[in-house]
Amino acid sequence: MPSLLIIAGTGRNSGKTTLACQIIRKFSPYQSIVAIKITPHFHENPGNGRVIVNKTNIFIAEEMDATTGKDSSRLLEAGAVQSYYVMTTDEYLEEAFNEILTRIPANSMVVCESGGLRHLIRPGLFFMMLHPGNTGLKSETEKRLSLADRIVTFDDPKFDFDVNSIEIADNQWKFK
């Protein structure tokens, strides 16, 4: 799926949402961008937003408020035309993602935060965020690192990556 850019991380606070927001800010004035935040962790209060799916293993909501400070709200505030928040286990990830795909406008580009999605789909670009303080990585994380088109080190608030090094060409995320 060349119109998909996936960002995964080596743990919490690795800069995933911050990088996603920078990418969306750069490209949304010229291109329709849809943002998706996928987590395998279920939270009791997933927030406000328009609930699309609420099953035992899949929860999907479309963020409608760009001012809450939640990650899905930050993505909307950055310029995404739609922002979805998804909670699902890995075994239901494909079903959840397919549900969102039916709602994405044609010719939109997608920026998605997800660890597990890269094992199901080959995106245009796949970034792994690495925070210097995250040590003792899980084997799943090690596998994802080997699949990354670029490992980006995030030492809050700085990255060792320049969003100007990527582009959208022929409805695909690419390196310049």
Q: Which residues contact 58 (CB under 8 A, 6 or more apart)?
A: 86, 87, 88, 92, 95, 96, 99
26: helix, strand or coil: helix
pLDDT the model gives residue 26? 97
pLDDT the model gives residue 27? 97
Say whether the peptide bond before residue 157 is cis (omega within 30 degrees of 0): yes
pLDDT the model gives residue 24? 97
Q: Which bin fits 69, alpha (ψ -120 to 50), beta or left (φ > 0)?
A: left
The per-residue pLDDT string of the chain (176 residues; one tens digit each, 9 = 90 and over) reads 999 999 998 766 678 899 999 999 999 999 999 999 998 877 765 666 889 998 889 999 999 988 888 888 899 999 999 999 999 988 999 999 999 999 999 899 999 999 889 989 999 999 998 877 666 666 677 778 878 899 898 877 788 899 999 999 999 999 99
Domains and CATH numbers, the chain: 4-175 (3.40.50)
pLDDT the model gives residue 46? 62
CA 76 to each of CA 52, 71, 152: distance values in angstroms, whole numbers, following the listed order: 17, 9, 23
Instruction: Tell me the Cα Rg of the chain.
Output: 15
pLDDT the model gives residue 136? 60
The beta strand positions in 81-162, using DSSP E, are 82-88, 109-113, 125-130, 150-155, 158-159
pLDDT the model gives residue 5? 98
